[in-house]
């Protein structure tokens, strides 16, 4: 039987990994990537690594683990909140801002994550005091860490009655 790295190399090329634990998957993908520098499917492996990093970030966010949540950011990362006109410069300032948020989230649910290459988008809902806030995060990666993030926050609103005949209600 082929060594694990070779089996993982074949499985990574097919878009899957042979191990299940996120830390193991990340380690295997990194090992495979180091062997695949000149191969045409290197971007696929790189995207798998970024996806694992993103999944770990959102899991840490949901758990309230600020240290793990901010591992994803470069020291010089920039985060923008266009709706309020704020720009947060640096991982330290971003973490401090989140540490001092007056209301801790009581719920956190990722709806979907899509991305390719260095650009990834996550839709999620954060609940503060029973009030859901629909959020979109656009992350730009450099060397497997976020260099720039833009976040949009939207409160739910009542759908107008005039369009009821063309829509269905989601929950």
Q: What is the pTM of this model?
A: 0.76
Residue 155 structure tokens? 């409160």
What is the chain's Cα-based Rg? 19
Query: Mean per-residue pLDDT for 64-89?
Result: 96
pLDDT tens digits, 41-72: 677 788 999 999 999 999 999 999 999 999 99
CA 101 to chain centre: 20
Q: Output the CATH code of domain 69-166.
A: 3.10.450.50
* Residue 143 Ramachandran class (φ > 0 left, ψ -120 to 50 alpha, else beta): left
Which residue ranges make up each domain of the chain? 69-166
Q: Are 48 and 12 in contact (CB under 8 A)?
A: yes
């Amino acid at each position: 039987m082929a060594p694990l790295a070779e089996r993982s190399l074949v499985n990574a090329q097919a878009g899957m990994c042979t191990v299940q634990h996120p830390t193991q998957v990340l380690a295997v993908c990194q090992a495979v990537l180091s062997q695949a520098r000149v191969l045409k499917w290197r971007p696929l492996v790189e995207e798998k690594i970024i996806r694992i990093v993103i999944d770990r970030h959102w899991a840490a966010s949901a758990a309230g683990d600020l240290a793990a949540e901010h591992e994803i950011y470069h020291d010089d990362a920039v985060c923008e909140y266009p709706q309020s006109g704020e720009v947060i410069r640096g991982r330290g300032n971003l973490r401090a801002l989140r540490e001092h948020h007056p209301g801790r989230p009581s719920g956190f649910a990722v709806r979907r994550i899509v991305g390719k290459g260095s650009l990834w988008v996550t839709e999620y809902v954060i609940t503060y005091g029973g009030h859901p806030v629909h959020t979109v995060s656009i992350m730009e990666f450099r060397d497997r860490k976020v260099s720039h993030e833009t976040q949009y926050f939207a409160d739910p609103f009542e759908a107008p009655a005039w369009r009821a005949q063309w829509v269905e209600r989601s929950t």
